[in-house]
DNA sequence: TTTGTTATTGGAAACCATTATCATTTACAA
DNA sequence: TTGTAAATGATAATGGTTTCCAATAACAAA
């Protein structure tokens, strides 16, 4: 079962890997594994909540380990709209976390949503892309 | 030119339409228009900044009018992870807007990003989906 | 062990939203 | 009218993801 292998690959990087990226990594250790199994495993891991699935607009899904005991810390993203570079940003301003929590509570009541997660991304131009 | 027609369709709804949704709407008024032109027009409008392109995870891109003179107000999204329902949420807490601005400024400096936009979505279960 | 039943697996084919191609039409000026 | 460039839409191609399905592994009973 490639579940361990996939989680292992994801735990070793800060990048946002595509299914095929992961496939190639796992393939080095388990040459027998197929791309289909990677997709299947990722799908399961996302459903369980161990892995997050993102779309950064480049036509393929990207994955990262969810926060948790073995996971990375919770973070948000800075996305360059020109080159696609993605920065993991986890140094939140103090008030930021508090307000986020407060907002979630307000929304939960008002719209009768049981909020479990959020996605926050800032878009702009990275330094390199600004200079060309 | 279908530019007007596409903008017109988008300005008449609060929904998040797919390219084909828009194609079908425009088609009623301009039966001659082709799906290709709708894609082309949307692409241009997104580049210009008049239209936003979203991915809510259902495999097709979804579009909405950007805020502005003729546009809707700026808002964030509540997404039901079960049925896919999407709520436009624009009644921000007072502090929310201020903090967002402050955060953008901090990030711009720290990571040398020229931030132009942000995407904020809360995920959870809507009332209907919670009760089943 | 054998046998039967069920779950897992991966290769190949199918799917389907989006893009690229290209011949045709339209716009517009010379 | 005529020449040139832009705009258009039908069709084909692309490519990430899913579906199918036959083969294999796991496991339980006999
Ligand atoms: Mn990340
Ligand atoms: Mn919206
Ligand atoms: Zn960049
Ligand atoms: Zn729902």
Closest CA to A42 of B129, A33, B82, A90: A33
Percentage of chain A surpassing pLDDT 70? 96
Quick check: B70 pLDDT over 70? no
Q: How far is the C-alpha of A90 from the C-alpha of A102, rounded, in Å?
A: 19
Q: What is the mean pLDDT of residues B17-22?
A: 97
Cβ-based contacts (< 7 Å) between A 13-32 and strand C: 30, 32
Mean pLDDT of chain A: 91
The runs of H, that is alpha helices, within chain B are 3-11, 19-29, 35-48, 94-111, 127-130
A121 and chain B in contact, CB less than 8 A: yes
3-state secondary structure of B106: helix
Confidence band (pLDDT; 50, 70, 90) for B17? Answer: very high
Q: What is the mean pLDDT of residues A85-94?
A: 85
Q: Which residue has the tokens 């027609």?
A: B5
**Cβ contact A111–B87 (<8 Å):** yes
Q: What is the mean pLDDT of residues A45-55?
A: 95
Domains of chain B by start residue, with CATH: 1-73 (1.10.10.10), 74-132 (3.30.1490.190)
Strand D CB-contacts below 7 Å = A 18-20, 35-36, 39-40, 43, 59-61; B 1-2, 30, 32-37, 40
pLDDT at residue B98 in the model:
85
3-state secondary structure of B79: strand
Percentage of chain A surpassing pLDDT 90? 77
CA A55 to chain centre: 9
3-state secondary structure of B41: helix
Provide the whole-model pTM.
Answer: 0.91
Instruction: Name which of A122, A125, A131 to mutate to probe chain B: the one with the most chain B Cβ atoms within 10 A of its Cβ.
Output: A122
Mean pLDDT of chain B: 91
């Amino acid at each position: 079962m490639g579940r361990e292998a996939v989680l292992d690959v994801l735990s070793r990087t800060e990048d946002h890997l595509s299914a095929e990226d992961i496939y190639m990594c796992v393939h080095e250790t388990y040459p027998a594994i197929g791309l289909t199994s990677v997709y299947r495993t990722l799908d399961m891991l996302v459903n369980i909540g161990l892995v997050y699935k993102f779309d950064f607009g480049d036509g393929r899904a990207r994955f990262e380990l969810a926060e948790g005991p073995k996971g990375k810390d919770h973070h948000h993203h800075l996305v360059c709209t020109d080159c696609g570079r993605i920065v993991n940003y986890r140094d939140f301003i103090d008030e930021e976390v508090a307000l986020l929590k407060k907002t979630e509570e307000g929304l939960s009541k008002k719209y009768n949503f049981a909020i479990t997660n959020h996605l926050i991304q800032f878009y702009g131009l990275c330094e390199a892309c600004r200079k060309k």
